[in-house]
Chain A
Amino acid sequence: MTDPALNDVLDRAVAGKAVGPPRIDAIRSGAARRRRRRTTGVVGAAAVAVLAVVGGTAVFAPGDRAPVAVNPPVVSNPPVVPTRLVGVGHVAVAVPVGWAQNATYCFTPQRDTVIVNQGPEGYCMARRPEGVESIEILRGKSTRFPFRDGKIVEIGGARAERLPTVCVASDSDRPTECSATVYFPTLDVTVHLESTTGAAEVDRMIGWIVVVPDQVGVPEYATPVTKYTAELTALGLRPVVVTKKIPRYQDGDILDVVPAPGVLVAPGATVTITVVDNS
């Protein structure tokens, strides 16, 4: 049977079939129902993993009850340019592939960058150039941000506390800095967004945040290494610690993590941590 003939008979077979109008409202509500179920599943799985690791002690902060979503879901709006996902735990951000990672000087972004595991840097009042965007992804609820003022939103099917976008004008020649912060209580991840382009850019970047139930972002380092391995295990990853002698370094210093913090891997993947041990 020739290709055109088969095309034709299949078309004719169903051409006369009456099809109702698209069920767009039913699809939306069905998706919302699935999203709620999926979020519950992710949190449940994380809780099981945590209990297995720490022998029944939950590591979620005691006051972290999941907030109730009362605002419309944040609409996903990834950049139109090619992107890569960078994340911590089950929260990731689709950043343009041209963005750097940890391109900061004295904690101050110098070009468009995503920040995961910034590492030690001195503070030196560095100037942030105009038109620079940055997104910082942190494990846990950072005390740097006043979450008392947050409103409850839904992002990628998960509930989140979102601090309003605020802009701070400098009295010097520094550009105005706008920022917003989002915290996912059930996933225990904070995302902080900053821009010297404007508030609209910050709001736009919030649409780049996604929840990835089937992947895990390697979190930033934590010391001692036992704390870090517990965090990795709680996220469903398999930490492997290797040691290295470097005489001038302190025992216990983390030298390297592979895959690097921010990289998304499959649950159960191995994360190799190289630690100084001069004993």
Chain B
Amino acid sequence: MIRGSSYRSIPAKYKDMADEIKMLKVTIDNITIEVPQGTTILQAARQIGGEVAPPAMCFYTKLKGSGGKCRTCLVEVSKGSEADPRPMPKLVASCRTGVMDGMEVKNITSGKVTDARSGVVEFLLLNHPLDCPVCDQAGECHLQDLSYSHGKEGTRYEFTRRTFEKHDLGPYIQLHMTRCILCYRCVFVADQVTGKRVHGVLSRGDHAEIATHIEQSLDNEFIGNVIDVCPVGALTDKTFRFKNRVWFTKPVDAHRDCTSCKGKVTLWQRGDEVLRVTGRKDQWGEVEDWICNTCRFEKKHVSDWVIDGPAKIDRHSVISQGHYTGLDKPKETFSAVHGGRAPKLLMDIHSVSEVNRPGIALSEIQGPATSDTFNIDQQA
């Protein structure tokens, strides 16, 4: 009876809501779609997909308040709306700008956007150590992808790169601040997923850094998610550190009964060994569910898990170029995928990936690290 009565009221309520949610027309790079009111330009562009979706380094759908900072998703609004067709005077952050009815947006069809974006990439890489050869994030690094897709070759920066002192964040998480692009995602995770934050952004301007101020370990049961949201190699999994390159590992989706999270993960295997556990990521690199530390760091046996099948990996990703089985391997070569451009950074990774040397302090190396950096013995 109770169920029955509530059933009657709910559809009516939904009907009201459906009336309230207006559908808006938006045209992005000449493709028109309809989206519900409250949708951002970025979300609308992701619905269209492909190259129309602007890159996003700081926005993360699940994290409230994220976005607006990295400026990679800037787009040109050439028509504000049907009601007010004036173009917006400046490029806007698509992740934080709501769609208006009749809005017209230019992303890759705007020279202004591609020019500004290549500028942003240059800024983001300005003080980045480019130590991809020894970075665990290599191969799944959003900054690496962004540089290939939107950057220019080489840098015009000729000064000593900024470095930071190392901070220890406890047994599971490695912080390599020099690689950080200050997206603030890990700060939002700590606030919104763990409820208690012990790390944050200290100092300001070009000295701003992610840190704990006094050395402290991050040990909340959900803090491991900061690793999954980090777009670069600033926060990496210590239990996976220098174990292998991601493209030599095989990702499979798996689950287990977990009392603190849904237990739905991706296992990164080599043979029968589980080298790493992460959340399952969608095509935009965002996790489907947050996972707990126990699942992430402590369940490293295949027997801990029920395997669901191979994880979906973008075939353009370097990961699917590797020893990946279970999906069709792309037939084209890596350089063909990248429009004939030689994968400058990745070449080095391949040549040195077997000789990773955790002992080399990258912060002491002038300029970007190259394979030579790791062959010091042979030079001497």
Is chain B found bound to chain A in the same assembly? no
Residues of A participating in the B interface, judged by any CB pair closer than 8 Å: none
